[in-house]
Amino acid sequence: MEKILKNFFLFMAKNKVATKLAKKYGLRFGAGRFVAGASLQSSLNVIQKLNEEGLYVTIDHLGEFVDNEHEAKEMTDHCIEAIESIAKKNLKSQLSLKLTSMGLDISRELVLENMMRIMEAADKNDVFVTIDMEDEARCQATLDIFKELKAQYENIGTVLQAYLYRTVEDIQDLDSLSPNLRLVKGAYKESPSVAFPEKKDVDENFKKIIKMHLLHGNYTAIATHDDEIISYTKEIVKEHNIPNDQFEFQMLFGIRIDAQRQLRDEGYKMRVYVPYGNDWYGYFMRRLAERPANVAFVLKGVFGK
């Protein structure tokens, strides 16, 4: 049943008609648990509160199916506004973004132009930017653009996904750049020809890339809600005397809140991924696909009022 639900929600995440309807009708049906409202101001309020609790943040202005230059430039403007607001309010927050939102599917020239604008603002305001990874079909293009930007800017990182067969090689290939990487399991529906189909294999590869990247001496963000992966990371850093300032844990806004506070209380750096915006639908569907318990929460929220 869990696999059926996962496949259903991943299918729905790519449904353009449903995405348009979701934009029209707003943050209903439980999405507010995982999304910090529709506006930048709503997300800034959330960041402030999380910072006061000793938690760090990365924000993401959500966007799906950006297919024209005007919308890509509009998304770029949103990112620059977010960077400037973070700096102005002196918030402990980074920015996360998707290259498709900046025009990746339109042209390489457009996405690079938009990313250069964002990175100029980020450099000026001392805000770190992470390029989120999307599906496998866009993985190489994403890494190529990351490399190009990393040659010019230090305050940029990207994401690698443990469920892809290629990720170990990507870790090795990027090592010469001393990259700041967020390591995740992966949340897209992929073919067995490019990704591990079994969870146990994904988990083992996740552990492998965490250890590799940490032992290479590079900054590592371990983005997971899995207690086994968290415990494994703690063991590795203890065994190899890796300092706490070389890594952090990351979790999604609204998920495992108690675990986030516990890691903070144990002295680890804990960063919360806080998305916002009207284009929340695809993100929300992937969160439901990742964890069936989220479905039960949403149903309770909708029908329990």
Q: Are 157 and 130 in contact (CB under 8 A)?
A: yes
Neighbours of 152 (CB within 10 A): 11
Neighbours of 251 (CB within 10 A): 21
C-alpha distances out from residue 109 to 106, 116, 146, 153, 276, Å: 9, 11, 14, 18, 27
Instruction: List the catalytic residues.
Output: 132, 182
Cα–Cα distance between 157 and 243 in angstroms, integer? 20
